[in-house]
């Protein structure tokens, strides 16, 4: 741990690769850690590249009453699903993104609100995503009717290098009009420039009345670095890349070793309200 926090009033956690295991499961120790936070007077909230509807099944086991920040902060809802904030891609940015991914023969998914739209039901990671978010996609022939109001576009594929090349190309094409980052080695997420996990930190701060300096964050992927930068204290998972670890103030064990619970016990609970 590089710098000890002065006070932590809220822990904002990534989900996949952080809060849950590779099998997308909450461990008993993770559930207990969240309960310990609540008992210590420390809030707990989640943010993810998933749609908010894909986070709903976590509300009950974790007793969540805080905002659910889906699409990397692009769509924030309360625990009952009521929309609190929405930041959608512009139609032109959506079209340019789809065109570039199609040119590179990368599978394309469009999230129109919570609706998951695809053109190829046999895509490499469709079944995996359905298992993760716990609902099925809608198959469409063309994305054109849905370009106004897109919360997130995903480029999906088995070639991580191809996705990194697409990420670089989209940075050039879209400039500061959109954000493109990997949420998994096989998922490239494209959202509005302001729809990143840094905005999820700010949204929680404003909605819950907590200074960002009193928010701790924990995550494992490149898209989590934006929330590290906005929070008062940041923790990288042991399964994170060296670059992500270098951007955090502390590092815990991996998500297969109950790294989330270990981080709560070591880095968060000692700095709760006094």
pLDDT tens by residue, 180-199? 999 889 999 999 999 999 99
Is the same domain home to 187 and 202? no
Say how far residue 94 (Cα) sits from the centre of its chain.
Answer: 20
Is the same domain home to 162 and 179? yes
Is the same domain home to 69 and 111? no
Q: Is residue 144 part of a domain?
A: yes
Structure confidence by residue, pLDDT tens digits, 239-251: 999 999 999 999 9
Range of the domain at 99: 91-192
Is the same domain home to 226 and 240? yes
Is the same domain home to 188 and 254? no
pLDDT interval class at 1 (50, 70, 90): low
Domain termination residue (choose one: 177, 192, 207): 192
Average pLDDT value for residue range 11-40: 97
Is the same domain home to 205 and 187? no
b/e string for 13-25 if b means 16 or more Cβ within 10 A? bbbbbbbbbeeee
Is the same domain home to 114 and 233? no
Q: How many C-beta atoms surround the C-beta of residue 174 within 10 A?
A: 20
Instruction: Give the global pTM.
Output: 0.90
Average pLDDT value for residue range 110-121: 96
Domain at 99, CATH number: 3.30.1240.10
SS3 for the chain is: CCCCCCCCCEEEECCCCCCCCCCCCCCHHHHHHHHHHHHCCCEEEEECCCCHHHCHHHHHHHCCCCCEEEHHHCEEECCCCCEEEECCCCHHHHHHHHHHHHHCCCEEEEEECCEEEECCCCCCCHHHHHHHHCCCCEECCCCHHHCCCEEEEEEECCCHHHHHHHHHHHHHHHHHHEEEEEEECCEEEEEECCCCHHHHHHHHHHHHCCCHHHEEEEECCHHHHHHHHHCCEEEECCCCCHHHHHCCCEECCCHHHCHHHHHHHHHHHHHCCC
pLDDT interval class at 6 (50, 70, 90): confident
pLDDT number for residue 260: 98
Q: Is residue 223 part of a domain?
A: yes
Comparing CA positions, the residue from 195, 182, 170 lying closest to residue 95 is: 170
Q: Is residue 1 part of a domain?
A: no
Is the same domain home to 242 and 185? no
Domain at 51, CATH number: 3.40.50.1000
Token readout for 148 is 């106004």
Task: Count structural domains, the chain.
Answer: 2
Domain termination residue (choose one: 192, 222, 251): 192
Comparing CA positions, the residue from 227, 194, 196 lying closest to residue 212 is: 227
């Amino acid at each position: 741990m590089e710098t000890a926090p002065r006070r932590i009033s809220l822990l904002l956690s990534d989900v996949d690769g952080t809060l849950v295991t590779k099998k997308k499961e909450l461990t008993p120790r993770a559930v207990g850690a969240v309960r310990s936070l609540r008992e210590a007077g420390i809030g707990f909230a989640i943010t993810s590249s998933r749609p908010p509807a894909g986070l709903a099944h976590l509300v009950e086991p974790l007793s969540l009453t805080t905002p659910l920040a889906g699409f990397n902060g692009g769509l924030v809802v309360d625990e009952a699903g009521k929309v609190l904030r929405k930041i959608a891609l512009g139609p032109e940015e959506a079209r340019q993104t789809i065109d570039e991914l199609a040119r590179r023969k990368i599978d394309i998914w469009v999230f129109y609100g919570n609706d998951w739209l695809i053109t190829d039901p046999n895509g490499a990671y469709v079944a995996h995503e359905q298992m993760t978010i716990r609902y099925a996609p809608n198959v469409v022939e063309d994305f054109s009717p849905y370009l106004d109001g897109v919360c997130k576009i995903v480029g999906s594929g088995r070639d991580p290098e191809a996705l990194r090349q697409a990420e670089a190309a989209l940075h050039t094409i879209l400039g500061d009009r959109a954000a493109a980052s990997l949420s998994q080695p096989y998922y490239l997420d494209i959202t509005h420039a302001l729809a990143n996990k840094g905005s999820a930190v700010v949204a929680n701060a404003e909605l819950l009345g907590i200074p960002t300096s009193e928010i701790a964050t924990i995550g494992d992927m490149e898209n989590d670095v934006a929330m590290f930068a906005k929070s008062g204290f940041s923790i990288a998972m042991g399964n994170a890349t060296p670059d992500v670890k270098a951007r955090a103030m502390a590092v815990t064990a991996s998500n297969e070793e109950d790294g989330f619970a270990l981080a709560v016990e070591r880095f968060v609970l000692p700095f709760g309200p006094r």
